[in-house]
Amino acid sequence: MRRADRDGTPPVMARFWVFARPYLPTYMVGLLLLLLTNGLSLWIPWLLRDAIDAIEAGTELRVLAGFAGAMIGVALLQGIVRTLSRLTILGNARRVAYDIRNRFFEHLQRLGANFYDTHRTGDIMSRGVNDIRLLQSFYGPGVLNFLNTVIIYVATLALLLSIDVQLTLISLALYPVLLLGVNLLSRRVYGRSLAVQEQLATISNRAQENISGIQQVKTYVQEEREISDFRELCAEFRRRNLAMASVRGGMVSLIGIVSGVGTLVVLFVGGRFVIEGRLTFGDFVAFNAYLGLLAWPTVAMGWIINVFQRGAGAMDRLEEVLDQEPDVPAALDEGSEEAPERAEPVDGDIEIRGLTFVYGARTEEVDPRVATLRDIDLTIPRGSRLALVGPVGSGKSTLVNLLARVYPVPRGTILIGGVDINDIPVSRLRTSLGYVPQEAFLFSRSVKENILFGQPDASDDEIERAIDVSRLAGDLESFPEGLETIVGERGFTLSGGQRQRATLARAVVGDPRILILDDSLSSVDADTERAILTELDVVMRDRTTIFISHRPSALADMDRIVFVERGRIVESGTHDELMSKEGAYARLFHRQMLERDLGPS
C-alpha cells in the first residue's frame, strides 16, 4: 500500500488498524482457523501421494481404503473449519463496519453548520453508505483472502521445495514478472477506483436533490431534462467503471497467463523427472496438486489488490469527513459536569460587543470588509422583548444563529449573564433556548414526536400548553390521527402555517429561557399571529424573546426594535421613538402599511 503522505498522514494500513484493533483477538482466532483449514487442505495431496506410491508398491486394498477414508475425513473436517473461519472473520467485518458507521454518524452530529454549508447531502450519504460498504469488504473478504493467500503460498512453497527444489524454482520463475506487473497495475486501480466512488457520490447527490425537489421539477416541467442529465451522470459512472475494469481485467489476465505457463512448464519438466526416476509418480501428482492449490490465490491476488485499493480510497473519503474539526464542541462538552436535563438553564442579560462575522472564515481571521456582521454592539436585558428588523440579507438570521452557536462565535463578542458564550457548554445553552428558524423543518414522524423532539420527557400538560400557545389545537382536530398523525418528509403534508406552528410548539414545550422567532410566523394570518404573541407574552414573562418579523402589527408592542442594514445596526429604540426619527425604520413601516392597504381586498 502507499507510504505516508507528505502532509504526515499515516500509511493506509495504519489507519485501517485503528478500527480493527478492538477485534484483534477475534481476528487471531480467525487466523488460527485459517491455518488449520489450510493445513487440512494441504494434507490431502500428501495423502494422495502416499496412496499412489502404495499402489505402485502393490499394497493391499484395505490400505488404499484407509487412505480414501482419511482423505474423506480430512475434507469433511476442513469444510467445517473453513466455515468457522469465514464466520469469524466476516463477522468481524460487520462489527467493524458497525463501529465505523456509528462513528461517522456521531461525527456528523457534532460538525457545525460551516461543514454542511460546503458539503452536498448526496456526497455525505454516499460516503456513509457506499464507502463504508467498501471498507466492510476490505475488513471481511479482503482480510480473509489476504491471510489465506499468504498462508497457502508460504506452506505450499515449503512443500513444493521439499518435493523438488529445482522443479519449484522452474515453476515459479515467471512470478517476479507477475509481481512487478501487478504492482504497476495496482497503482492505476487506486486512482480509477477513487474516480468511480466520487462519481457515485455525484449520482447520489443528484438523486437526493431531485427526490427532495420533485415538486419543483414537475412544476417547471423539467422531467425530461433531469432524466437526460441523470442518464449522462450514469454514463460517466459506467465509463469510469469500465476503465477500472479494464485495469482489473489486465491484472487477472496477467495472473492467468503466468499461472498457465507455469503449469505447462511443470508438466514438461516434471514429466521428464518422473521418466528419469528423479521423482516418483506420487511426488509428481502431489507437486501438481500443490501447484493447483496456488491457482486460486494467484487469481485472487488481483481481486485482493482491488479490494485493498478501493478500501484505501473509501478510507480517504471517510477521513476527509472524520478529520473535520467541529465548529462547536459536542452537545455534552468534555468536562461538562451535568447532563442537559439536569443543567442549570442559561439566564441573564445578553451582551454583544463589537461582533464581526464572516461565513466560512476562522473567527480570528475575519476581514471586516466582507463581513456579514460588522461591529455589532447590543444589550438585551433579561425578560425583554427585542425585535430585529431590516431588509433581506442584512444579517438578522446570522445574528440569532450566532446566539445559538450554530456557527463559531469570536471569543469575547457574545456574553450571557456575563459569561462568554464560548465558555458555556453547548448542551446547557441550547436546552435553555427555543429557536424557531425561518424554514420550518419537521421530521417524517408523528406530530407529537416532532413537538417532543427536543424534550422527549415532556409531560402531557406541557404538550397541551405548547399546542395552545402555538394555536395548533384547531388543526389537530382535522388531522386523521390527531397528535399521532405522521407528517410527510420535511412536513410537506402540512401547510406552511401548520409547519411553523408545530415548530413553535417544539420550541416552547421545553420552557426556554430565551426564545428566538426568526420570521417564523410569516405563513400564519395576522389575527393568529397576534393571538400567538399574546400567549407568548404570558409564557415568556421574565424570559427573553428575540423576534424577527416584517409585519408592522407585530413590532409595535416590542420593548425595543433594532434596525439592521448591511450587517450594521443603523437604528435602535422603541416603535414610537423610531417613528419620530423618520429614519430607515419609519420608511419601512410606512411602506409596509401602504402595501397592506393596497393589497387584495
Q: What are 289's three cell numbers?
A: 496438486
Residue 553 is predicted with a pLDDT of 62
Mean pLDDT of 407-424: 88
Mean pLDDT of 568-594: 85
Residue 368 is predicted with a pLDDT of 54
- Averaged pLDDT score across all residues of the chain: 80
| Domain regions of the chain by residue span | 15-322, 338-432+550-601
Q: How far is CA 514 from CA 340, 429, 451, 511, 559, in A?
A: 16, 10, 18, 9, 15
Percent of the chain clearing pLDDT 70 (strictly above): 89
Provide the pLDDT confidence category of residue 84 given band limits of 50, 70 and 90. very high
Residue 28 is predicted with a pLDDT of 92
The architecture (CATH level 2) of 338-432+550-601 comes to: 3-Layer(aba) Sandwich (3.40)
Q: DSSP letters along 429-484, please? A: HHHTEEEE-SS----SSBHHHHHTSS-TT--HHHHHHHHHHTT-HHHHHHSTTGGG
Provide the pLDDT confidence category of residue 2 given band limits of 50, 70 and 90. very low
> Contact, 435 vs 404, CB < 8 A?
yes
What global pTM score does this model have? 0.73
Task: Give dist(CA 167, CA 172) in Å, integer.
Answer: 9
Residue in 406, 401, 435, 550 with CA at minimum distance from that of residue 504 = 435
pLDDT tens digit sequence for 100-149: 999 998 888 888 888 888 888 778 888 888 888 889 988 998 888 888 88
User: Is the fold of 15-322 the same as that of 338-432+550-601?
Assistant: no
> Contact, 547 vs 554, CB < 8 A?
yes
pLDDT tens digit sequence for 187-222: 677 678 778 878 887 888 788 778 777 777 776 677
Provide the pLDDT confidence category of residue 264 given band limits of 50, 70 and 90. confident
Provide the pLDDT confidence category of residue 417 given band limits of 50, 70 and 90. confident
The architecture (CATH level 2) of 15-322 comes to: Up-down Bundle (1.20)
> Contact, 306 vs 133, CB < 8 A?
no
Q: DSSP letters along 6-61, please? A: TT-PPPHHHHHHHHHGGGHHHHHHHHHHHHHHHHHHHHHHHHHHHHHHHHHTT--H
Strands ordered across the beta sheet of 414-416: 373-380, 350-357, 414-416, 419-420
H/E stretch holding 311: helix 295-322
Task: Give dist(CA 274, CA 262) in Å, integer.
Answer: 18
